[in-house]
């Protein structure tokens, strides 16, 4: 499909007739599997198991999940519908703690629901669905805007290193950091290349980013995470662009584990290090970021299939790390490009005092 004149090829989430259809990204790159559900517990499990992952995709999935509950509800009173929606919201909030988009999306739907209090139930239900669908479309449009703003920073001959997966599969469609790459290469026809890190332990870079890049014929090379220093020291990287799971007003950014190491290396090698994310990733209140710790088995095996360590060994598995503002050259959102000092520029971008 075309949105604002830009081709959006992969849409990982769809809402139709009270059901959500999503791409189970754990099956990629071997198989492109779509799963259909009308069950909020199944959706919550999909987020926990990372069949649906990536901050904006998680947010949109939660919004569509609440729309699904409203659409299928047999409630005859406002308070009954409220209970169904609040229970679903509570379950979805518990799925993953770090990506701010999840909480932003649930809060937006609940706020909408509260605003509709005096309307007939049918109207409330259809308005909730409408709100979730407009959030989905907004996310794609925001990604295209991020693409436009970010691509202005790229030039012919650039090699962009990216981490994890920030593409269509991690959003409602198009992507953030990968959206910039896509926009620069396909819309602006800039001659750029990509280096994608494999992203241990769940290999989102190898499985998903490489899949998207190959599919769209964008020149790309896969490296293991521990090759980043090597490729930078050899002059093979001219820019780094990664996504974000949560951005604080002071410019600290939580993103996939390994991002901080890449930022430190970029600073050492004088390579610009950019963050790309929609403003729905910016948490305007928190002072700290909760970091999700996942099962040690993810570290001790390859995707749960091959053991790579003794079963008895202890393993640490933080899913995210925090990059401090002094390592970040700029933060690219749909509203434009924020530069240091971030405590001023991010507030200005959001229209906050
Ligand atoms: O654990 P994941 O795969 O959900 O982590 C994803 C990331 O860290 C992405 O970089 C981030 O969510 C931005 S996606 C546009």
Q: CATH no. for residue 110? A: 1.20.120.420
Residue 72 and residue 188 share a domain: no
pTM of the model: 0.97
Residue 320 and residue 182 share a domain: yes
For ligand 1, whether the C-beta of 200 sits within 6 Å is: no
pLDDT tens for the chain, 353 residues: list them: 999 999 999 999 999 999 999 999 999 999 999 999 999 999 999 999 999 999 999 999 999 999 999 999 999 999 999 999 999 999 999 999 999 999 999 999 999 999 999 999 999 999 999 999 999 999 999 999 999 999 999 999 999 999 999 999 999 999 999 999 999 999 999 999 999 999 999 999 999 999 999 999 999 999 999 999 999 999 999 999 999 999 999 999 999 999 999 999 999 999 999 999 999 999 999 999 999 999 999 999 999 999 999 999 999 999 999 999 999 999 999 999 999 999 999 999 999 98
For ligand 1, whether the C-beta of 212 sits within 6 Å is: no
Residue 229 and residue 95 share a domain: no
Separation of alpha carbons 203 and 70, rounded Å: 35
Residue 160 and residue 265 share a domain: yes
Residue 276 and residue 196 share a domain: yes
Separation of alpha carbons 256 and 242, rounded Å: 9
Domain boundary among 111, 144, 177: 144
Residue 124 and residue 159 share a domain: no
pLDDT at 353: 85
Domain of 336: which CATH number? 3.40.50.10470
Query: Out of 38, 87, 139, 245, which one is annotated catalytic?
Result: 245
Residue nearest to atom 15 of ligand 1 (CA): 166
Domain boundary among 110, 144, 178: 144
Contact indicator for 293, 318 with CB cutoff of 8 Å:
yes
Residue 166 and residue 96 share a domain: no
Residue 201 and residue 217 share a domain: yes
**From the CA of 81, how far away is ligand 1's center (Å)?**
32
Separation of alpha carbons 284 and 347, rounded Å: 9
For ligand 1, whether the C-beta of 197 sits within 6 Å is: no
Residue 202 and residue 80 share a domain: no
For ligand 1, whether the C-beta of 98 sits within 6 Å is: no
If one counts the domains in the chain, the total is 2
Residue 135 and residue 153 share a domain: no
For ligand 1, whether the C-beta of 319 sits within 6 Å is: yes
* Rounded (5°) CA angle 37-41-43: 50
Residue 57 and residue 177 share a domain: no
Separation of alpha carbons 255 and 244, rounded Å: 5
Residue 138 and residue 155 share a domain: no
Domain boundary among 106, 124, 144: 144
**From the CA of 282, how far away is ligand 1's center (Å)?**
14
Distances (CA, A) of 219 to 9, 94, 174, 213, 241: 18, 38, 17, 7, 16
Range of the domain at 101: 2-144
Residue nearest to atom 2 of ligand 1 (CA): 54
């Amino acid at each position: 499909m075309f949105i604002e004149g830009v081709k959006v090829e992969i849409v990982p989430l769809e809402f139709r007739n009270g059901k959500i259809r999503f791409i189970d990204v754990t099956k990629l790159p071997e198989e492109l599997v779509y799963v259909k559900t009308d069950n909020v517990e199944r959706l919550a499990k999909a987020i926990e198991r990372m069949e649906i992952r990536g901050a904006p995709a998680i947010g949109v999935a939660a919004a569509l999940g609440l729309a699904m509950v409203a659409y299928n509800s047999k409630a005859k009173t406002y308070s009954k519908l409220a209970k169904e929606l609040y229970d679903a919201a509570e379950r979805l909030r518990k799925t993953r703690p770090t990506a701010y988009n999840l909480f932003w999306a649930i809060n937006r739907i609940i706020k909408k629901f509260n605003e509709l209090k005096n309307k007939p139930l049918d109207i409330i239900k259809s308005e909730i669905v409408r709100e979730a669908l407009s959030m989905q479309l907004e996310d794609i449009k925001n990604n295209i805007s991020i693409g436009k703003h970010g691509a202005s920073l790229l030039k012919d001959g650039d090699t962009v290193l990216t981490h994890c997966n920030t593409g269509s599969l991690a959003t409602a469609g198009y992507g953030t950091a990968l959206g910039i790459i896509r926009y620069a290469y396909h819309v602006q026809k800039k001659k750029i290349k990509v280096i994608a890190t494999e992203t241990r332990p769940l290999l989102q870079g190898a499985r998903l980013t490489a899949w998207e890049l190959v599919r769209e014929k964008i020149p790309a090379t896969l490296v293991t995470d521990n090759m980043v220093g090597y490729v930078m020291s050899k002059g093979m990287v001219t820019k780094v662009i990664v996504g974000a799971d949560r951005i604080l007003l002071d410019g600290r950014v939580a993103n996939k584990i390994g991002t901080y190491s890449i930022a430190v290396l970029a600073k050492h090698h004088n390579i610009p290090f950019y963050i790309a994310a929609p403003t729905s990733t910016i948490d305007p209140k928190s002072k700290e970021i909760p970091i999700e710790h996942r099962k040690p088995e993810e570290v001790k095996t390859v995707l749960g299939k091959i053991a790579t360590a003794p079963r008895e060994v202890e393993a640490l598995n933080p899913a995210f790390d925090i990059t401090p503002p002094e390592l970040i050259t700029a933060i690219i959102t749909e509203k434009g490009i924020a530069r240091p000092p971030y405590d001023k520029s991010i507030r200005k971008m959001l229209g906050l005092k």
